[in-house]
Amino acid sequence: MRKILAFLFLVAVVGSAAWLVVSRERAGCAEAAPPSAATPGDLHEALWYEKLAGGLVRCMLCPHSCRLPEGRIGRCRVRQNVGGKLYSLSYGRLATAHVDPIEKKPFFHVLPGSRAYSIATPGCNLRCLFCQNWEISQMYPWEVRTSKASPEQVVAEALRSGAESIAFTYSEPTIFYEYMLDIAKLAQAKGLKTLVVSAGYIQPEPLQALLPHIDAYKVDFKAFNPEFYTELTGGSRDPVLQAMKTIRASGVWLEVVNLLVTGQNDGEEEVRQLARWVRENLGDDVPLHFSRFHPMHKLANLPPTPIERVIRAREIAIEEGLKNVYTGNIPAAEGDSTYSPTTGEIVIERKGYYVVRNHLTNGLAPDGEKIPGIWR
Ligand code: SF4
């Protein structure tokens, strides 16, 4: 009898695991995702969708444009068709909340030396093989320990922490759009700056509607090579290029990060193309950060990016005419600090995420050069 019970238990465990694997695979499909196997929690009706015939809905938040039959969940794992309406499953469900140096986002031209109250929910609309936060970004809401927090509670906690801003970060804020929007409105009314740390994979209309409530946007641009996007992220490049142009044109402060993944997107010509595109389409003063990759997630077999390749990327971008180029994940590098574009003198000296000296006064360097950004 004991043997039979043990056998039945084994069958149940293997069956559940197989269901989870199959579900994950199917979630990668553009048209549909698996029905929820767990209570999705509080539902919050989504913005940016349309109802189609036969109870289908089409999500219009990101370029995947998921078309979802009843019960199905989008590729981001957090938007579900329930009864012919699209709902967010992540509204008010925090997977994490930390107070970080704003430089860790990284924002180098926004309130240097300040702290950002940083939050995330589960889910993401990309599938980056090198994701650094895959434990929350590649999960359904019920696979991650979350805590409930209303927008009012998030803003109150941010104020209590002494942070000067709220950062929507770690996973992908686009997919908790409604929650982010409600928090951002309240936060700005209370004098907090609002920061989005995103891959920029969002449709133009929801982006335009969000921007009036955001002070600064950081876009993690994955690679200038479009094939890198399709093969390593599950997204596509051109919507992100468009999103960066839209953000810049809106007047919202923009910084761009490019993670250099060893042997994948760190070639000199590709870096040069990116720098040139930034100068021609966004302007020569948009901060561009080149960040060093560390083995992670599904690319744990790759070595870290050679430090000299990251330093060379910065040199190339400067050669292409960009004024504010930084390096990240390299200890004590020249690319940590901000320099006057006319004299080359250090204006903000940093060591990693920490500001050692700040010589700016009202956004002006000691030589009178105006440094663009959001300053005190
Ligand atoms: S936000 Fe989610 S549901 Fe909407 S289109 Fe993108 S992946 Fe699909």
CATH number at residue 327: 3.20.20.70
> How many angstroms is it from 74 CA to the middle of ligand 1?
5
Residues 324 and 224 in one domain: yes
Residues 310 and 327 in one domain: yes
> How many angstroms is it from 139 CA to the middle of ligand 1?
14
17 in a structural domain: no
Residues 151 and 66 in one domain: no
> How many angstroms is it from 218 CA to the middle of ligand 1?
20
Residues 194 and 57 in one domain: no
- Using CA atoms, how far residue 34 sits from 59, 153, 198, 336, 351, in Å, is 16, 32, 26, 44, 46
Residues 232 and 287 in one domain: yes
Other Cβ atoms less than 10 A from the Cβ of 177: the count is 24
- Phi-psi region at 203: left, alpha or beta (left = phi > 0; alpha = psi -120 to 50): beta
CA gap 339, 362 in Å, rounded = 16
pLDDT value for 12: 42
Strand-strand pairing, 85-88 and 79-82: antiparallel
| Edge-to-edge strand list for the sheet holding 288-292 | 96-101, 115-120, 165-168, 193-198, 216-220, 253-260, 288-292, 325-328
Q: Give the residue whose CA is nearest to atom 5 of ligand 1.
A: 65
3 in a structural domain: no
Amino acid identity for residue 354 in this structure: Y
- Structural domain harbouring 47: 29-89
23 in a structural domain: no
> How many angstroms is it from 321 CA to the middle of ligand 1?
37
User: Are 42 and 149 contacting, i.e. CB atoms less than 8 angstroms apart?
Assistant: no
Residues 207 and 337 in one domain: yes
pLDDT value for 376: 87
pLDDT value for 78: 96
CA gap 116, 18 in Å, rounded = 40
pLDDT value for 281: 98
Instruction: Report the interhelical angle of 268-281 vs 307-319 (nearest 10°).
Output: 40
Atom of ligand 1 nearest to the CA of 174: 1
Residues 107 and 54 in one domain: no
Q: What domain count does the chain have?
A: 2
Other Cβ atoms less than 10 A from the Cβ of 117: the count is 24
pLDDT value for 99: 98
Residues 74 and 201 in one domain: no
> Which protein residues are within 6 Å of ligand 1, measured from CB?
59, 61-62, 64-66, 74-76, 79, 125, 175
1 in a structural domain: no
CA gap 105, 72 in Å, rounded = 33
Residues 62 and 134 in one domain: no
- Phi-psi region at 113: left, alpha or beta (left = phi > 0; alpha = psi -120 to 50): left
pLDDT value for 337: 97
Residues 111 and 172 in one domain: yes
pLDDT value for 332: 74
22 in a structural domain: no
Q: Ligand 1 pocket: which of 31, 47, 77, 79 to mutate (most atoms <8 Å of CB)?
A: 79
Residues 118 and 161 in one domain: yes
> How many angstroms is it from 183 CA to the middle of ligand 1?
20
370 in a structural domain: no
Helices (H), 118-202: 134-137, 151-161, 177-189
240 in a structural domain: yes
- Residue 156 pairs in a beta bridge with none
| Edge-to-edge strand list for the sheet holding 338-339 | 338-339, 346-351, 354-358
Residues 63 and 200 in one domain: no
CA gap 86, 51 in Å, rounded = 9
245 in a structural domain: yes
Average pLDDT by stretches of 10, the chain with 376 residues: 45 38 36 49 90 98 98 96 96 96 97 98 96 94 94 98 98 98 98 98 98 98 96 97 98 98 96 98 98 95 96 98 96 92 95 94 94 96
